[in-house]
A = this chain, B = another copy of it.
């Protein structure tokens, strides 16, 4: 379980909040960020601004500014919040499956459910924003890319475990990770456009990669 603490582990310990004023602040933060991830998945992180969030949540713009100080701080907090939601919806439930092929299939199934439901108004948060920020160097692109890396690392780890345990035949891990992640990203878009057939395509791509040795 050594690797598990590195990938998709919490980035910082969150101390329990006891002070009432702090608790109120934490709740306001939560309200703002929950709305911010929907805006970001639908209209992009650029639209995550103090003014838009004040309008959408009914909170005061000054109050939101006090909580987050600068637009970029707010945007980075939104990315972190979306990451936590993604972990709760996709990564954590898959941990009940044994590592290797079974956990990989579980990750994919939970991802499909996540893109289909969808958890965010505009579908996958990462897909929606990576296309927007991939040509714009800076802390936002770095944070999105770090999350992307964390996700592909998780897929790669399960594939490696499956090969090492003799569950599946040897394969080029990097290529397989790229194929699975590409298919999931494309499926997210297809699902937004109402194409449900894409789900079976994704499952077949994964089945074709996970062949018995």
Contacts and interface: CB of A to CB of B under 8 A. Distances in A.
Interface of A: 41-44, 46, 121-123, 127-128, 130-132, 134-136, 141, 145, 172, 174-175, 178-179, 181-183, 185-186, 189, 192-193, 197-198, 201, 204-205
B192 A183 contact: no
B134 A131 contact: no
A134 B182 contact: no
A175 B189 contact: no
A181 B186 contact: yes
A186 B192 contact: no
A46 B130 CA distance: 17
Indicate how many identical chains form the complex.
2
A193 B134 contact: yes
A44 B43 CA distance: 10
Given A44-B44, A185-B186, A186-B185, A134 B192 contact: yes
A201 B189 CA distance: 22
A39 to B, nearest CB: 12
26 contacts: A41-B135, A42-B135, A43-B46, A44-B44, A44-B132, A122-B134, A123-B135, A128-B131, A130-B189, A131-B131, A134-B189, A145-B193, A174-B197, A174-B201, A175-B201, A175-B204, A175-B205, A178-B183, A178-B186, A179-B182, A179-B183, A182-B182, A182-B186, A185-B185, A185-B186, A186-B186
Nearest to A133: B192
A195 B99 CA distance: 29
Contacts of A130: 131, 189
Interface core residue of A134, A181, A182 (most chain B CB under 10 Å): A182
A174 B132 CA distance: 28
Contacts of A186: 178, 181-182, 185-186
A70 B72 CA distance: 33
A205 to B, nearest CB: 7
